[in-house]
Chain A
Amino acid sequence: MYRLNEQQIGIIANDVNRAKLTITRLQDELIDDLCCKVESLMDQGLTFDMAYHQIQTDLGIEHLMAIEEDTLLLTDKNYARMKTTMKITGNISLALLAIGTLLRISQVAGANIILVIGFILLSLIFFPAAIFLDFGRTEEKQLTKRLLIIAGCVALMNGVLFKVMHWNGANILLLSGWIIMLGIFLPILFIKKLKETESTKNKWVYALGIFSLFIFELATVFKFFHWPGTSFLMVVGTFLLIGCFLPIYSLSILKEKQGSLSIFIFLIILAIYAVTFTALLSVNGASAPQSVMIELFNQSLLN
């Protein structure tokens, strides 16, 4: 029977490792299984390249991740429970926030209570559930860093709620959230992406994405403190994020990944939601989305 050499095993292992599976033993099993398949095909007279090409369908990142997901759902009851909770509360909170925002813009009664419920579900149930799921797959040494980022995100989410409801403490919550996001989260994300990405072109795409996000969030901070240059930053940040990063990202990186449609749709919805909602919040008083852009352009012209 044909035996793969170390280099050939390395090629298969690298492909499996791209799926970043967290159950190490499962990862080992999948590598061994795929190696056995290739060896069996080579016994039938195929070359390594031909045999390797034949097993490509088994090597898709999404396929390997789905196997791990199935394993986690079968072996960890908490994981399954949390996953359901996360899906339900995520959808409900998103719907409530969207309805609440629309009612608030239209100055209809009941908007506030819907927004509060939406934010409570989002920050106290959905987000911790999502983090719980992620923690199960995170090494312990990352825990402190992660906890800090979670605290920042929760502070930011509640800061938005407090600000919308005109409650005391909004400024402190928003400021601490922004400091963590701009000073810790985005730089960590930037370094991580640069380390993980092999292609120089993709490194530039990620750098552009993180830079535009940084500018966009910085614009929100500027607006909040009424510092000059807000409109310029907001227009530049929005243009970089929606006009440059998303098209380049969808054309280059997402194209390389399998099953990219769902990620793409999610990104578009998230970007539109973030831009519209943050822009709405950064304008004094409740106003229609169209007026936000008009005001931004007016301010940029005045500046």
Chain B
Amino acid sequence: MASTDLLKGMLKPIILKLLMERGRMYGYEITQLVKEITDGEVELTFGALYPILHKLEKEGIVQTEQEVINNRNRIYYSISKKGTSKAQEKIAELEEIVKTLKVFLKPNFGLRYVPA
């Protein structure tokens, strides 16, 4: 199971990537998709998810739509027109971080010389 502390800073781009791929999604759907994609390695709690979704909306990156489904209100999130470039930027940032982190996992950090 992946550590929530390690993932915290990466949640925003992860959520944005999901929304870019799937169009519109609601909270529970996002948590389940993350679980499915990662084979249960990453469990996104609703305590971590909703504050970030609200922040993304405040920043104008995502927009919301409300619908009544099965006698209860459901809020759908999707990337706003204005937020598309910002979302792409955040996802690119995540790719850069992952690329950089991979270097640390290489033997001798991928360096050719042997330190004295």
A: residues with CB less than 8 A from B are 3-6, 9, 13, 23, 25-26, 28-33, 35-37, 58, 63, 66-67, 70-71, 73-75
In the complex, besides A67-B51, A74-B51, 10 extra interface pairs with C-beta distance below 8 angstroms are A29-B50, A36-B28, A58-B46, A67-B46, A67-B50, A70-B47, A71-B51, A71-B54, A74-B54, A75-B55
22 contacts between A and B (CB under 8 A): A4-B70, A4-B71, A9-B72, A23-B54, A25-B64, A26-B54, A28-B66, A30-B46, A30-B50, A32-B27, A32-B72, A58-B46, A67-B46, A67-B51, A70-B47, A70-B51, A73-B51, A74-B52, A74-B54, A74-B55, A74-B58, A75-B58
B: residues with CB less than 8 A from A are 26-28, 31, 46-47, 50-52, 54-55, 58, 64, 66, 69-75
Chain B residues with CB under 8 Å of A66's CB are 47
Distance, CA A26 to CA B27, complexed state (A): 10
Interface centre among A3, A5, A35 (most CB of B within 10 A): A35
Chain A: minimal CB distance from B65 (Å) = 12
Chain A residues with CB under 8 Å of B52's CB are 74
Chain A: minimal CB distance from B57 (Å) = 8
Chain A residues with CB under 8 Å of B58's CB are 74-75
User: Among A3, A33, A63, A74, which residue has its beta carbon within 8 angstroms of that of B70?
Assistant: A3
Distance, CA A67 to CA B28, complexed state (A): 15
Interface centre among B31, B46, B75 (most CB of A within 10 A): B46
Chain B residues with CB under 8 Å of A58's CB are 46
Chain B residues with CB under 8 Å of A75's CB are 51, 54-55, 58
Chain B residues with CB under 8 Å of A70's CB are 47, 51
The answer on a CB contact under 8 Å between A71 and B50 is yes
The answer on a CB contact under 8 Å between B75 and A29 is yes
Distance, CA A23 to CA B57, complexed state (A): 14
Interface centre among A5, A13, A71 (most CB of B within 10 A): A71
The answer on a CB contact under 8 Å between A32 and B51 is no
Chain A: minimal CB distance from B85 (Å) = 22
Chain A residues with CB under 8 Å of B72's CB are 9, 13, 28, 31-32, 35
Interface centre among A29, A31, A36, A63 (most CB of B within 10 A): A29
The answer on a CB contact under 8 Å between B75 and A25 is yes
Chain A residues with CB under 8 Å of B55's CB are 71, 74-75
Nearest residue (CB) in A for B26 is A32
Interface centre among A6, A28, A31 (most CB of B within 10 A): A28
The answer on a CB contact under 8 Å between A67 and B75 is no
Chain B: minimal CB distance from A66 (Å) = 7
Distance, CA A16 to CA B31, complexed state (A): 19
**Assuming the A-B contacts A67-B47, A75-B58, are A9 and B28 also in contact, with contact meaning beta carbons closer than 8 angstroms in the complex?**
no
